[in-house]
Structure 1
């Protein structure tokens, strides 16, 4: 079993690297071993899984994942952190060092990964880019069958929100294209360094087949973006730029079986798909 990181080790590693965590990068490092074990257990990964971890930081979660997974591939944007991570694993879990791949890159720019291909995404996602990173990973790596991500609690609630909820919006709908989701727990600020001023939420993901449609994902997402760009507008107004005017939009919505006076916040992913199928060629 890996020797997990504790608060003193986290601070020592940071001092060694002259690391000053920044809000710009959304850096908050988990220093509580029990929290790491809880996340790994909740993820449901098995010894057959290849895990993709984005933003491993100093390696707290990486060490826990290597206890279970067949392989762990991490994507880290900061050179100093990426270089140090392999050495941390060598020191604290030497038997697992051959099962770790470290990629130094911006996760939003990674379009392919070396084999073995990932089957699960488990990550403490940087607060400031959590939604784009999650959606990018699901788009680019269709071998990802499930996941567990830790994000800011407010973001967790938006990701799992259902139609009609006050926080239902673009992230909720786009995630629903790829996967079913649920918030399965919260994590208090005290287990992080530096201590954030908000709680975190754990979001579980299970990939499903995308909707069966003649519309492309890009077309569906364009409708979603337009519907929520002016959240209080009725759909016949919010989508008029896509369909060429209010009258054409009203007709398209009626063909799709959607009330032109409705707003985006009450529509399911299937509703958005039917609307996208009416887009002019």
Structure 2
């Protein structure tokens, strides 16, 4: 990350509280608002994300701008998607005060409904965000699907969510988020984050998740068809795939036929398969 004079002018605990008082802001659990108040943490996020001068970063839930300011020092441009109208209005002011307004675009919208056409001509190459815990997985999956230009990402999420996103086959926490994320990217844990770097401090631990885009498995089945298999396989985790996929395939016998055609033992369970195996099963549906 480039070191510039303004880099020391990030938001700390005092600045965050002054801004919050100015806006009469009380962080809400509904919107998952836990603001980062530690400058060292946001610098670390930008560094671990590998943000480069040519990157256009999409940030979801910028809040009061702690991470945004650090991203603006490293990236070509930042598109900040903020659902809270008060915060969306304040962010350009905070950034302009530091002479960086021309590098920021604020989109007041729900990240779960955002489309490339909403980004005002910008094509994001990286996702870097402190994501609200209650919507982290659907936001990540939606953006990876909707914005194929994203080739890398680093998100801060609840530690348990980070474990699920990065889990591999055979892990106790491997499930639907793990497999669907693997369709789009190589996903890995990228370190823990302590509770004291937030205001208000959450009562859960956080973690960083790194994503590097890769091609999905080669298959004649569509993404929707593969995801339907994944959903069915994990809907009843204790059942064998022959039983779990019976409704999806039409009957237990048809499920077994599809599994055998895909080279998968019908007595296995969903948590034992990688995304490529699920793609083979979808392709083999009678």
TM-score, scaled to structure 2 = 0.96
Task: Give, in angstroms, the shift of residue 97 of structure 1.
Answer: 0.8
The answer for unaligned runs of 5 or more in structure 1 is none
Which of the residues 78, 98, 104 maps onto 1:100? Answer: 104
Which of the residues 63, 85, 89 maps onto 2:91? Answer: 85
Which of the residues 153, 159, 162 maps onto 2:165? Answer: 159
1:37 is matched with which residue? Answer: 43
* RMSD of Structure 2 on Structure 1 (CA): 0.8
Contact kept in structure 2, 1:27 and 1:127, CA below 8 Å: no
Residue 232 (structure 2) pairs with residue 216 (structure 1): no
Which of the residues 27, 52, 67 maps onto 1:61? Answer: 67
Which of the residues 222, 230, 235 maps onto 2:236? Answer: 230
Query: 1:131-166 CA distances to partner (integer Å, 9 max, x unpaired)?
Result: 000000000000001011000000000000010000
Count of residues in correspondence between the two structures: 278
- C-alpha separation in 2, matches of 1:114 and 1:214: 34
For residue 198 of structure 1, give the secondary structure of its aligned residue in structure 2. Answer: coil
Residue 123 (structure 2) pairs with residue 117 (structure 1): yes
Task: Give, in angstroms, the shift of residue 279 of structure 1.
Answer: 2.2
Query: 1:215-250 CA distances to partner (integer Å, 9 max, x unpaired)?
Result: 000000010001101111111111111111111111
2:3 is matched with which residue? Answer: none
2:53 is matched with which residue? Answer: 47
Query: 1:82-133 CA distances to partner (integer Å, 9 max, x unpaired)?
Result: 0000000011x21x21010000000011112222200000000111000000
Task: Give, in angstroms, the shift of residue 198 of structure 1.
Answer: 1.4
Residue 280 (structure 2) pairs with residue 274 (structure 1): yes
Which of the residues 129, 136, 158 maps onto 2:135? Answer: 129
The answer for unaligned runs of 5 or more in structure 2 is 1-5
TM-score, scaled to structure 1 = 0.97
Residue 265 (structure 2) pairs with residue 259 (structure 1): yes
